[in-house]
């Protein structure tokens, strides 16, 4: 069996692209390479955001929809210094980092019906929307 070394360095090209494509204030609010990988999908009824965040609990997430922005964030609890003093780290590659992701919501979404589910390390946020064709229907209104 061949053992392949896992590379844990941040992707430099991604870092440079994000640094130049994002607003300046966004670059200072995020830690480099610590945002969870995210998939965004669309079905006939809703958008779904899938975020890979293993090792967390449902209660760890702060999900908020305000105006036309959906925010998903996590802030780890402060590490217990008493617990840390009992161990000597020989190598530490895994650590939960704080993150905050923001997504612009479409005008057709129903904010009151947004829901989320966390299962097997994957956070799924469901954003239902109205069919734009239904919203464009013309209706005659009579004057009484």
Query: For position 130, what pLDDT does the model report?
Result: 78
Residues linked to residue 41 through DSSP beta bridges, in sequence order: 48
The predicted structure's pLDDT at residue 45: 86
Task: Write out pLDDT tens, residues 8-23.
Answer: 556 666 666 666 665 5
Which sign does the torsion angle of CA 69, 122, 99, 59 carry? positive
The 3-state DSSP class for residue 59 equals helix
Who wins on pLDDT, 115 or 144? 115
pLDDT tens digits along 57-67: 999 999 999 88
- ∠ CA 8-90-57 to the nearest 5 degrees? 60
Question: CB-side exposure of 67: number of CA atoms within 13 Å?
Answer: 3
- pLDDT single digits (tens) 77-122: 776 655 556 788 788 777 778 899 999 998 888 888 999 999 999 9
> Which pLDDT value is given to residue 83?
59
pTM: 0.64
Domains of the chain in start order, with CATH, are: 36-78+95-131 (2.60.40.790)
Torsion of CA 101, 17, 30, 68, to 10 degrees: -30
């Amino acid at each position: 069996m061949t053992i392949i070394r896992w590379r844990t360095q941040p992707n430099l090209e991604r870092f440079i692209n994000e640094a130049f494509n994002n607003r300046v204030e966004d670059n200072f609010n995020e830690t480099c390479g610590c945002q969870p990988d995210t998939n965004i999908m669309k079905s006939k009824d809703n958008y779904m955001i899938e975020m890979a965040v293993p090792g967390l609990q449902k209660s760890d997430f702060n999900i908020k929809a305000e105006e036309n922005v959906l925010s998903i964030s996590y802030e780890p609890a402060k590490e217990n210094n008493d617990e840390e003093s009992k161990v000597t780290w020989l190598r530490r590659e895994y650590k939960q980092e704080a993150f905050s992701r923001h997504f612009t919501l479409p005008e057709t979404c129903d904010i009151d019906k947004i829901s989320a589910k966390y299962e097997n390390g994957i956070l799924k946020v469901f954003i239902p929307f109205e069919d734009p064709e239904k919203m464009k229907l013309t209706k005659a209104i009579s004057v009484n």
